[in-house]
Structures are given as C-alpha cells and as structure tokens.
Amino acid sequence: MTHTASSLIVGNWKMNGTSASAATLIGEILDGAAALPPSVALVICPPFTLLDRVGRMIEGSVVRLGAQDCRAEPKGAYTGDVAAPMLADLGVHYVILGHSERRRDHFETDAQIRAKAEAALACGLTPIICIGETAEERDAGDAFLRLSAQIAGAVPAGFGADSAGGVIAYEPVWAIGTGRTASREDIESTTAHIRQALAAHLGTDDNLPQILYGGSVTARDAASILSIGTVNGVLVGGASLSADSFLGIAAGAAGSPS
C-alpha cells in the first residue's frame, strides 16, 4: 500500500524528457526533496520510456514513481499499450488515469477509466483518477452534475477505503490554456462538492480518497491552495519540468497547515 502524506505533490511530465534531461532534473529534485518534511510526498510521473531510468535514480529516496496511464487488460495483443502488472514490475507506485488530455485525444470513457483503476488496484498501484468539467459545462451551470457523473462512472467501489488506496485529481478543463483561472473560492466549493459526491458514491465518510487540485499550480499560489481543508495535494504539469518550480510548490505544501 502506498503511504499517505498530508500533502501529495505529483509531477506529470507528459510527453517530455530524454535520458539526459531526466538525469539532470531528477538530480536537482532529489537535492531539494531531502529537506522536505515527512508530511509532503513527491511523486514523479515520467513518460513510459523513462520509467525504468527514473525509478533507478529515485530508489531509496523520498520520491515515489508514477506512470501516466495503463491498460485495463493484464496482457494481450494491444500494440503500444502498457499493462498495470508491467508498471508494478518496474516499481511504479501511482498511475494517472482519465487525464483530460486522454479523454479528449483518445476518447476515453468513465467506464474505461474505471476498468483501468480496477486493474491498477489489483496490482497494488494507487490510481490517480482525473475529473473535471469543460467551459461549456461550467457556463451552463452543470459543473457539479458533470463531476458527480464522472465519480459515479469512473471510481470503483471501495476506492480509497477497502483497496490499495486511491486519489482523485480535480482539473478544471475550462482553466487550461483559456486565460481563465480558478479562484480560491472556486477550488474550495468544487472540492467540497467532490468530497460529498465521493462519500455518497462510496457510501462512507471514512477513509475517502485524497483530493488533488490540478490547474496551472505555481509556487506562488501553492500554499494558499493547499491550505484549503478539502485539498490534499496538487497535480502539476509544466511546472514539474523545472526543479525550482516543482520544489517551490512542495515548499508551499510544507508551509501550509496540514
């Protein structure tokens, strides 16, 4: 089972990185990570090509290894896909599922994401299930309905309670590359709704999944976001490709109330 920290800081490198750049970046992150308190956990999710190399570099450190996706089936004739048992074999602890880019570019459905999450849990991996509403859904007043529907469709029974663990990442799709930003009030009200929807879906208020926020988080606003009671961490995209930015966000987590 993956350990639970007060603040979980996840870096999603997306389709970025070479052996050389990864070696430099991980070296810099490890130098700064040692100074973080135990309440802050760092997870790095490199592309598949770098999982083994990054895993070897962070072995024995406080940084955990994550992947960016997995297939629901454990093996088979699925060219280009990677199965959850393969990730576990590499020492992966976390796996991001249902990211808005995969929903958009690969037309992934909630049912497919749920099947992937179940496959990950079966291998002892901790799924990070991404949910979020579009600008059209938000402007129509349907944001909470959409988020509740994603939770009902993508989150397996017992997620975060009777399983190896589970994490929900809220990423407002309407704030990605649009110039619009989520205010503290937006994040507070939406994550409170997500927590309520999770409790209703899972039938319990106990041991609910951690909730991360992912929406252009910077070192400047990390402490404020992470001081929200319903936010347990952040999912970081582009800022995780800079050690200064990523560690700055982690420092904000260290300085926020747990």
User: Which of these is catalytic: 93, 99, 101, 201?
Assistant: 99
106 has catalytic annotation: no
Strands 233-236 and 94-97: unpaired
| DSSP conformation class of 239 | G
User: Which of these is catalytic: 101, 108, 133, 171?
Assistant: 171
User: Bridge partners of 66?
Assistant: 94
Which residues fall within 8 angstroms of residue 141, CB to CB, at 6 or more apart?
A: none
The answer to the question of whether 13 is labelled as a binding residue is yes
**Which amino acid, residue 167?**
V
CA distances from 119 to 9, 17, 82, 83, 84 (A): 23, 27, 12, 8, 6
- Can you read off the two tokens belonging to residue 170? 């809220």
State residue 3 phi and psi, 5-degree precision: -65, 155
The answer to the question of whether 238 is labelled as a binding residue is yes
Q: How far apart (Å, rounded) are the C-alpha atoms in residues 42 and 198?
A: 24
The answer to the question of whether 207 is labelled as a binding residue is no
The answer to the question of whether 256 is labelled as a binding residue is no
**Closest by Cα among 126, 102, 122 to 112:** 102
Q: How far apart (Å, rounded) are the C-alpha atoms in residues 93 and 66?
A: 6
**Which amino acid, residue 134?**
T
Q: Token match 């088979």: residue?
A: 76
Q: How far apart (Å, rounded) are the C-alpha atoms in residues 141 and 138?
A: 5
Question: In residues, how long is the chain?
Answer: 258
Q: How far apart (Å, rounded) are the C-alpha atoms in residues 148 and 94?
A: 23
The answer to the question of whether 55 is labelled as a binding residue is no
171 has catalytic annotation: yes
Binding site members for substrate: 12-14, 177, 216, 237-238
**Which residues are part of the catalytic machinery?**
99, 171
Binding site members: 12-14, 177, 216, 237-238
